[in-house]
């Protein structure tokens, strides 16, 4: 944690802290024997959201259509080459609604949604009634995406938003 001269250096440090803390959440053992899956998942969605914002304007394939990642649709970033997934529009929307928004704003996830912490397997499992996130695989996915992420995109975004008024 430091005072930063620019938004891009602050964002990079924040993302690296989110990834480190989410790893700590997954390696820490609670009294019931589980890990801290909810905060880890929330932090991973925060990183995913940020990467989507910084890659706004880039095209990805969603379903069979080319679509742009937009600041209002940042989870399309899952289909960017950094992440390498091929989710359809409904799967992206379900992840956003069931996990990211409700977990961040209401401290719960959808009924039928769940978290698991297996050492292997896909990060997301979709059925018509459920979505499960393998938080360990999700962490590996987001960490790998961050390693591949073009950092200059954060700097370009920061330069465009340098004079954005502060909210009070």
Q: pLDDT, tens digit, for every residue of 45-69?
A: 999 999 999 999 999 999 999 999 9
Residue at 163 is within a domain: no
What percent of the chain clears pLDDT 70, i.e. is strictly above it? 95
Residue at 2 is within a domain: no
Residue at 118 is within a domain: yes
Q: List pLDDT tens digits, range 86-111.
A: 999 999 999 988 877 788 888 888 88
- Quote the pLDDT of residue 167: 55
- Quote the pLDDT of residue 1: 58
Query: Above 70 in pLDDT, residue 37?
Result: yes
Residue at 166 is within a domain: no
Query: Above 50 in pLDDT, residue 24?
Result: yes
Query: Above 80 in pLDDT, residue 125?
Result: yes
Range of the domain at 48: 7-158
Q: Helix (H, G, I), strand (E, B), or coil: what is residue 33?
A: coil
**Helix, strand, coil content of the chain in percent (nearest 5):** 50, 10, 35
List, in sequence order, every residue forming a beta bridge with 67; answer none if it has no partner: 60
Kindly give the pairing relationship between strand 113-116 and strand 131-134: parallel
d(Cα 153, Cα 53) in Å, to the nearest integer? 10
Residue at 167 is within a domain: no
Residue at 18 is within a domain: yes
Residue at 165 is within a domain: no
CA distances from 132 to 97, 129, 161 (A): 13, 10, 36
In the chain, the number of structural domains is: 1
CA-closest candidate to residue 121, choices 104, 108, 136:
136
Residue at 29 is within a domain: yes
């Amino acid at each position: 944690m430091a005072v930063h001269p620019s938004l891009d250096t602050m964002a990079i440090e924040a993302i690296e802290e989110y990834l480190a803390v989410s790893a700590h959440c997954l390696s820490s053992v609670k009294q019931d024997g589980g890990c801290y899956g909810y905060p880890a998942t929330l932090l991973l969605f925060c990183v995913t959201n940020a990467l989507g914002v910084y890659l706004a304007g880039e095209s990805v394939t969603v379903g069979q259509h080319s679509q742009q990642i937009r600041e209002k649709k940042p989870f399309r970033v899952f289909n960017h080459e950094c992440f390498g997934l091929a989710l359809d529009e409904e799967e992206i929307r379900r992840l956003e609604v069931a996990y990211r928004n409700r977990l961040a704003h209401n401290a719960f996830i959808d009924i039928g949604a769940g978290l698991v912490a297996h050492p292997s397997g896909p990060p997301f499992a979709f059925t018509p009634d459920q979505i499960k996130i393998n938080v360990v695989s999700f962490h590996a996915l987001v960490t790998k995406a961050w390693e591949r992420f073009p950092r200059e995109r954060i700097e370009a975004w920061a330069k465009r938003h340098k004079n954005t008024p502060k909210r009070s």
